[in-house]
Chain A
Amino acid sequence: MMKLIAGKTGLRTLLAGLVMVLLAGDALAHGERAQLASMRMRTVHWFDTKVEPLNVKVGDIVTVTGKLVTSEWWPKHMPSIEETVYLNIGVPGPTFLRLHSEVNGVPMMRSTAFPLGKVYEYKTVLRARVAGRYHVHPILNVKDAGSLVDKGTWLEVAENDSGAPFVNEITTLTGETIDLETYGLDGVYTWHLIWIAMGVAYLLYWLIRKELFIPRFIRIRELGSDRANELMTKKDFVVSSLFFTTALALILGGYLWAENKYPITIPLQTGLVEVEPIEIPTGGLEVVVDHATYDLAGRSLSMQLQLTNNSEGPLRIGEFLTANIRFLNPDVNEGEIYEGEEMVSKDGLTVSVDTIEPGQTVDVELVASDALWEQYRMTGLIHDPDSRFAGMIFYYDENGERFFQEVGGAVLPNFF
């Protein structure tokens, strides 16, 4: 569905044209469930998503930050994020202004490309524009693949105290300070009124006459096509010439007037920007996936892993993340949960070996289970064309420092 919407015009525009209703953006709400389970598990892993503050007034600043890892198990049948991607934010239309956005410190006004298997830290700064209650989702628009949607966070925007109209001022390079909410509209209205008046006047000239469609049809049929032009009078000729001249003069005059008033203009700017990816800061844990199964009835995914601790100290697995769902290991009790954060299963992860000592190689079973599995339609994995899974494991050293890396591979259903 997401693909259809983002894929441009198509059916949506046809409907929009017919009923003249355009739901720009609204269709995205809760898109987290609409996508294929495999697409959510193996595209990007969003984590540390933080929206703050959660209660603001119109005009206030809201900051959305987080990280994402591009999956090494990116589905082959899907256009890759390594081509073109745009960091976006899922709010219902311009209920917020986007003041700033960046990935790994690089401003993101344009589209970019993300190599796979790397970490990207993003930040989007918004300014509340329209009061309401919104489910804010970070989004990546991937060219030809559609939108990848992170989980949402509810955010409450109240009217501002003064009730003054919203202004959005910027300063141009020519030194003018302008309010983008209404900028240029005087000219737009004036010229549109001029042209509409011209158009209506022209139509009235031709349509208000004693003999219109049927009488003219009868006369032309009588005259025959060779003499049909006799219906065009001298007055018609003069009036048309006047309209022609006036229209041409207005077009050229308006053009020259605008050129004179705005001598410095530039074309629309476009093109890709480049982002330097960050390597995943692994903590010396080597992970080999033996096999993985998912339980259709039990709403769980279990992974048999062979883990080798190459680091100096003991390591403990605290969290498994897939499809934006966090499964936390209650025994480790690490991993911050942010205010308003959704899709967290606080005791969803069981790990068969609690601590992996330095130098040790052990077989470990990880079981991620929760009702969220079903709620977010992860059981749909069975409909997947290539039956693979991917996710992130987060582990901690004895000082509580967090490391993460991606795991993935083939996955089989378990019917018992």
Chain B
Amino acid sequence: MSEANASGLAETEVKARALDLKSLDNPRAMKLYRRFDGIIILVLFTFLVLGIQIQFTLTAGDWDYWIDWRDRRWWPLVAPFSLLLFIAPFTYGIWERVRLPIMATAVTTLLCLVSWLSRYLNFYEFTHFPLSFTFPSTYIGLGILLDCALAISRSLIVSTLIGGGLFGALVYPINWSFMAPYKVPVEFNGMLMSVADMMGYQYIRTTTPEYLRIIEESTLRTFGGSVTPLTAVFSALCGMVVYAAFLWVGYKINGLDKFTKRIV
């Protein structure tokens, strides 16, 4: 305790660290590490799957369940908000400790896989909804952009501005590649409807009446016809702010280990 080196570490700690570093050249130690790494991946990914599934269901649930909820205005805001606030703290922790820019891709990919499983079992098999009405959205490309922005720039700040911004802005474009056909117009009873609206009407949902949809409500509409690009800009800004805020949360959580060290 009394003898501490320049960086404030106890001598025993310095010795232990040197030993740790040496162990990296020891094949038997490395074998053990690999086994531990496998366990870490398993535990971490299980946690991520359960966490994002619950988090996304609670915050963006209906917008992602039904194609007639994925509007130009709310869904491109709600979805990245919900995802980024989950991704950011993990990104911070994993980046600071092991320099792996993978959390955004991991979370979005796992969410996609678990969503498909849930849509197939709960919506398609169990309650008979067609998958054409309840398929999940994809955010994987956005996750890759966010992670790569970090990997390329090696800076959390730059990745927030570029990656966070792109993550928010591109929610609509990335899904448009397969969502566009559902926005084709149909005439029904003298009214104009999109194919998605038509599906929402025909495939009966007793507990999700039409008025529950939170879509298209906004004052931004008064700016003229360009709702989609305006939402994208706004969503990009939101993406940056949310990502930055929750990186900070990650930083705070990360700081908690100081206390645990003292306890041990």
Contact = CB atoms under 8 A, between A and B. Distances in A.
Contacts of B41: 207, 213
B54 A178 contact: no
B98 A248 contact: no
Contacts of A174: 184-185
B168 to A, nearest CB: 13
B80 to A, nearest CB: 14
Given A20-B122, A107-B190, A183-B195, A13 B185 contact: no
A20 B37 CA distance: 29
Interface in B6-38: 17, 20-21, 23-24, 30, 33-34, 36-37
Interface in B38-82: 40-41, 53-54, 57-58, 61-62, 68-72
A89 B215 CA distance: 23
A220 B202 CA distance: 57
A215 B24 contact: yes
Interface residues of B, number: 108
B132 A182 contact: yes
B112 A141 contact: no
Contacts of B20: 218, 221
A185 B194 contact: no
Contact of B128 (A8, A94, A139): A94
Interface stretch (A265-273, A292-300, A358-366, A382-390): A265-273
Interface string B168-200: 001001101111111111111111111111110
A133 interface: no
Contacts of B186: 170-173
A44 to B, nearest CB: 15
A206 B105 CA distance: 11
B130 to A, nearest CB: 5
B109 A203 contact: yes
A198 B109 CA distance: 9
Given A98-B204, A191-B178, A251-B170, A180 B127 contact: no
A21 B215 contact: no
Q: Which of A95, A187, A247 has the most CB of B within 10 A?
A: A247
Given A91-B206, A183-B181, A254-B177, A247 B145 contact: yes
B126 A21 contact: yes
Contact of A199 (B117, B143, B149): B143
B135 A188 contact: yes
Nearest to A255: B173
Interface string A350-386: 0000000000000000000000000000000000000
Q: Which of B17, B40, B181 has the most CB of A within 10 A?
A: B181
B224 interface: no
Contacts of B24: 211, 215, 218-219
B88 to A, nearest CB: 18
Contacts of A168: 202
A268 B187 contact: no
Contacts of A288: none
A264 B130 CA distance: 24
A286 interface: no
A25 B206 contact: yes
Interface stretch (A227-235, A304-312, A402-410): A227-235
A141 B147 contact: no
A134 B198 CA distance: 24
Given A268-B216, A269-B193, A196 B37 contact: no
Nearest to B227: A267
Interface in B90-124: 96-102, 105-106, 108-109, 112-113, 116-118, 121-123
B204 A184 contact: no
A17 B58 contact: yes
Contact of A96 (B199, B204, B216): B204
B129 A94 contact: yes
Interface residues of A, number: 114
B177 A257 contact: yes
A99 interface: yes
Contacts of A107: 188-191
A244 to B, nearest CB: 4
B84 interface: no
A24 B33 CA distance: 46
Contact of A264 (B147, B184, B187): B184
A218 to B, nearest CB: 5
Contacts of B34: 212
A28 interface: yes
A139 B43 CA distance: 46
A196 B140 contact: yes
A134 to B, nearest CB: 11
B205 interface: yes
Contacts of A20: 53, 117-118, 121-122
Interface in B117-173: 117-118, 121-123, 126-133, 135-136, 138, 140-141, 143-145, 147-149, 151-152, 154, 166, 170, 173
Contact of B173 (A5, A21, A23, A252): A252
A212 B168 CA distance: 30
Given A9-B61, A111-B211, A202-B102, A181 B184 contact: no
A399 to B, nearest CB: 37
A220 B101 CA distance: 15
Q: Which of B17, B154, B173, B207 has the most CB of A within 10 A?
A: B207
Given A214-B36, A231-B99, 8 more contacts: A21-B122, A94-B203, A184-B182, A191-B178, A212-B37, A259-B180, A264-B184, A265-B184
Interface of B: 17, 20-21, 23-24, 30, 33-34, 36-37, 40-41, 53-54, 57-58, 61-62, 68-72, 96-102, 105-106, 108-109, 112-113, 116-118, 121-123, 126-133, 135-136, 138, 140-141, 143-145, 147-149, 151-152, 154, 166, 170, 173-174, 176-199, 201-213, 215-216, 227
14 contacts: A14-B57, A17-B57, A88-B206, A99-B202, A173-B184, A243-B148, A244-B144, A244-B145, A244-B148, A250-B141, A251-B170, A262-B183, A268-B68, A268-B215
